[in-house]
């Protein structure tokens, strides 16, 4: 949610959906709470605690080991996997290789979050290799998308990228865009303080993995996750005195979120 000028607009030929998105999000949230899916997260040290608490608040069960001897088994018994490049050490790269192999073998859907590839060419290269391994969703911001795709972030380029790579591209920002090549959702919800708390994007990617665990259509999962998170952010922002209390309040809001709030607040096209 950076306060950058927002150039993206939904295009007429991409799929649009008004109130249905809120209903979908409410359904997915209900399933999260009922099924309590296991979500294995390879994520950076800065994000681990907040990510685990976001997942728990939404109803999912996080695990985070990266030990090579056990990560394969954790992933195989999980319902979804998050691969976040935020800590780019050897240990995590090895863990990622094992985890993706286990996920693909056992049909565990996974999300890629190519954190900061705009500042680290080696990460960008690694992220491109991972895209070829078949993530269901790539969740990123505008700068990261530009580096990953080689194109400016626009609805057309996002849609083309998603179509070519056969994945869902979920772009976070002041407005969120979720494209799968045929459909495009535009989410206008959210709160400026989401950009002032560390690991907020990382946690959004983890929530996307959680939604993927209970919703087989990856585009639906991406839309539900980013809408749930953005509306929790709005609810949190209403009472927060700054980014400290906001980070606490968004966890509370996720825990209390209901269909009525989602339906009343959703601004999706």
Least Cβ distance, residue 38 to a second copy (angstroms): 9
- Give contact residues for a second copy (rule: CB under 8 A): 44-50, 52-53, 56-57, 62-67, 69-70, 73-74, 77, 86-91, 116, 119-123, 196-199, 240-245, 247-256
Q: Is 223 or 254 the residue whose CB approaches a second copy more closely?
A: 254
CA contacts within 13 A on the Cβ side of 48:
10
Cβ proximity to a second copy, 130 vs 199, nearer residue? 199
CB 153 within 8 A of CB 171: yes
Please list, in sequence order, all residues whose beta carbon lies within 8 angstroms of the beta carbon of residue 217, skipping any fewer than 6 positions away.
Answer: none
CB closer to a second copy, 64 vs 178: 64
Residue 82 CB, nearest approach to a second copy (Å): 14
Nearer to a second copy, 203 or 223 (CB): 203
Cβ pair 19, 263 in contact under 8 A: yes
Least gap, CB of 222 to a second copy (angstroms)? 24
Q: What gap in Å lies between CA 198 and CA 150, rounded to an integer? A: 26
- Cβ atoms of 227 and 262 within 8 Å: the answer is yes
d(CA 241, CA 237): 8
DSSP string, 68-129: HHHHHHHHHTSSEEEEE-SS--HHHHHHHHHHHHHHHHTT--EEEE-TTTTT-HHHHHHHHH
Q: How far is the CB of 7 from a second copy (least distance, A)?
A: 21
Q: Which is nearer to a second copy, 88 or 188 (CB)?
A: 88
Smaller CB distance to a second copy: residue 57 or 210? 57
Sheet holding 61-63, edge to edge: 61-63, 38-42, 80-84, 110-113, 137-140, 168-171, 176-179, 184-187
Shortest spacing between CB 64 and a second copy, in angstroms: 6
| Residue 61: CB minimum distance to a second copy, A | 10
């Amino acid at each position: 949610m950076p306060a950058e000028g927002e150039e993206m607009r939904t295009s007429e030929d991409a799929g649009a959906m008004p109130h249905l998105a809120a209903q979908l999000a409410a359904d997915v949230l209900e399933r999260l709470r009922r099924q309590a899916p296991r979500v294995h997260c390879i994520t950076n040290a800065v994000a681990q605690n907040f990510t685990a608490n976001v997942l728990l608040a939404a109803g999912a069960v996080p695990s985070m080991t990266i030990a090579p001897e056990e990560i394969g088994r954790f992933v195989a018994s999980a319902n979804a996997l998050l691969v976040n490049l935020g800590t780019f050490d050897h240990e995590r790269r090895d863990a990622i290789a094992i985890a993706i192999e286990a996920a693909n073998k056992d049909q565990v859907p996974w999300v890629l979050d190519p954190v900061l590839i705009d500042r680290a060419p080696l990460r960008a290269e690694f992220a491109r290799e991972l895209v070829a391994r078949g993530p269901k969703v790539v969740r990123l911001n505008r700068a990261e998308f530009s580096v990953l795709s080689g194109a400016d972030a626009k609805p057309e380029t996002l849609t083309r990228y998603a179509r070519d790579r056969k994945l869902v591209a979920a772009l976070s920002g002041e407005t969120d865009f979720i494209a799968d090549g045929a459909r495009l959702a535009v989410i206008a919800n959210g709160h400026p303080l989401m950009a002032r708390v560390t690991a907020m994007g990382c946690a959004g990617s983890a929530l996307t993995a959680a939604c993927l665990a209970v919703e087989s259509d990856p585009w639906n999962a991406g839309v539900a996750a980013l809408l749930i998170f953005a509306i929790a952010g709005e609810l949190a922002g209403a009472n927060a005195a700054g980014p400290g209390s906001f980070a606490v309040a968004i966890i509370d809001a996720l825990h209390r979120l209901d269909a009525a709030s989602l339906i009343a607040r959703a601004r999706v096209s």
